[in-house]
Amino acid sequence: MRQKMQKTVSGRGIRLSTDALVDVGNLDENGNIHAADDPRCAFHKGNLLWHSDVTFDAVRANYSILAAHQVPPDRVDTEFADMRAAYDTLDDAMKKCVEDLSAEHSMWYSRSLGGMPDPGPDVKVTRRLVQVHPRTGRRSLCLASHASHVIGWLTEGGRKLLDELTAHATRLEFVFRHQWRVGDMVMWDNQQTMHRGTPFDDTRYARDMRRVTVLEGCDTGFGLRREGPGH
């Protein structure tokens, strides 16, 4: 059986009718906007960092499908970065440098960057920085705010490398920006893209977004991710 997430966000209630839907909005179980001191606010701040969904889990996500039920009056977008183009445009020396490197991913690392307190021991997963697509054979970079450090490197040097690669991968020419409208549904391939939300006044405006996550090796749809808070 797949390893379950070991921690949840304190005070998190269930708002949606099925646990196959991941709640990535800012409403509580009563339909009210989270209070500013609600731990879920800090949790969702992690969504504003560049990441691919569920890289911290032993079974990675293939596809995410996100639907907009309610959006703020001011535009609030999601940006997507093409990690194939990011790899292709590395110079040869950098391609050689990263080819055999791996990074450690954990959900709570990215959440600590969003302002959540350190939860203590956590599930960690090691992933290669260069991934080869199983069907096309094309290489892409595997980064994400869930990646804390490079295995075998001193922390500072590894972080510097991850930051440099992320800055390269998210250059404007590699990024598509979707402006959400109610009723939109967007599907993306987590194994070849990163994404991030853009900030808005989340203590004033409601944003109701719901996601389904299709797990690696489960293209038929039978592998929906059913536990854990997502991202």
Residues of this chain that bind Fe ion (CB under 5 A) = 53, 231
Work out the end-to-end distance of the chain between its first and last CA atoms, rounded to an integer number of angstroms: 21
d(CA 82, CA 173): 9
d(CA 133, CA 131): 6
Closest CA relative to residue 24, chosen from 217, 209, 215, 226: 209
d(CA 133, CA 139): 6
Q: Which two tokens stand for residue 76?
A: 């609030």
Closest CA relative to residue 80, chosen from 170, 3, 17: 170
d(CA 100, CA 166): 17
Helix, strand and coil percent figures for the chain, each rounded to 5: 20, 25, 50
